[in-house]
Chains A and B, each alone.
Chain A
Amino acid sequence: MTTETHREEPAKHEAIELVLARLLRIGSIIAAALLAAGIGAMLLGGHAVVGPRLITAGLLALMATPIMRVVVAGLIFTRDRDWRFAFFCVVVLCSLVAGVLLGHGHGG
């Protein structure tokens, strides 16, 4: 490993990290807002239907984010004509879909 002392922010890098960072940030902000609104509605009471629905929407938004992340990464690799990595994304997506269809859970 070579370590150099550079003070400035990294400049010469592909933009993929920044695109994915933006995507994940949007996903987590939407999810957090829906969850907070739902929990708020439940705490205030009176909204026996609205609260849980908002929370569910928030959870769904969160669950969709990593899957969107693989799709967007695949699109970026395709745009950059990085066919190998675009193929890796397709493999990941296919096994995710197969896993969901199979109906077995895996946790961590």
Chain B
Amino acid sequence: MAIGAGVIGSVLGLGGGIVIVPALTILFGVQMRTAVAASTVSIIATSTGAAVAYLRDRLTNTRVAMWLEMGTSLGALSGALIAGYLHQRFLYIMFGLLLAYSGYNMFRTRKAELPGEVVPDRLSRKLNLAGSYYDRMLGQRVEYQVTRTIPGLIIMYFSGAAAGLLGIGAGIFKVPAMDQVMRMPFKASTATSNFMIGVTAASGAVVYFARGDVKPLVAGPVVLGVLVGAVVGARLMVRMKTSTIRKLFIPLIVYTAIEMIYRGVRG
């Protein structure tokens, strides 16, 4: 189970909490707090385990990652600060609709292997965000530009805030933001998202650890499994077709959107 979560998470650039939390609580009868804590530590495992392969292939854009991490970490911080003052139901519905929209966008572009010609904006040029990687599937170097640098940062801020407020959806907003808004290649988007989620999860994990929610007997085996899964998943992903990864991503984004809207409506 944990290995599977690691494979899915590392290929798609997500945390894998969507698999781990229900599996632990429903199948193994683990308490919610313990499950969320174990899942948060395993996000770090997904990120760390897969990042080695992605960094070597230059799929991860470290400059874009550092720029956007400012948004996610500040967003997570402010999300945690205002958590008590906001209407959770409204937030679930709003973020759910946002996901549904980006799922629809992703469906429209499901055939595209690479984005077309992208004109970088001024800030992207100034920060030198353009990247290139060797695509093992296409057997060629892919050079790409990054655009809409500021909107990307703003979306990351809200993605971090969503994670801080709702405790879910760390990676699922990041991938569409880089893919659809900043027009990065899909593989570079999932790899960079994978790289980023570890950092936000780390500060959450430290908090859970200090509270005593990280139970070694639960978290230990799960995290080890996810770590192994992530290493395997990353090796698979670099050889996969972008359209295949997209096809895996779309059902997950639709599922999460429905789940969030449902939670919001049900209250």
Contact = CB atoms under 8 A, between A and B. Distances in A.
B64 to A, nearest CB: 11
A30 to B, nearest CB: 11
Contact of B202 (A31, A42, A66): A66
A5 B52 contact: no
A104 B164 contact: yes
A81 interface: no
B56 A32 contact: no
A91 interface: yes
A108 B17 contact: yes
A10 interface: yes
B198 A69 contact: yes
State the majority secondary structure of interface residues on B: helix
A39 B163 CA distance: 31
A59 B227 contact: no
Interface residues of B, number: 86
17 contacts: A3-B143, A18-B55, A20-B51, A27-B48, A31-B223, A32-B228, A52-B220, A55-B220, A63-B202, A64-B202, A67-B199, A67-B202, A85-B63, A95-B74, A105-B207, A108-B39, A108-B204
Given A88-B69, A91-B74, A92-B70, 6 more contacts: A1-B142, A5-B141, A32-B228, A39-B220, A95-B76, A105-B167
Interface of B: 14-15, 17, 36-37, 39-41, 43-45, 47-49, 51-52, 55-56, 58, 60, 62-63, 66-67, 69-70, 73-74, 76-77, 79-81, 83, 114-118, 127, 132-134, 138-145, 160, 163-164, 167-171, 185, 197-211, 214, 216-217, 219-221, 223-224, 227-228, 231
Interface of A: 1-6, 9-10, 13, 16-18, 20-21, 24-25, 27-28, 31-32, 35-36, 38-39, 42, 51-52, 55-56, 58-60, 62-67, 69-70, 73, 77, 84-85, 88-89, 91-92, 95-100, 102-108
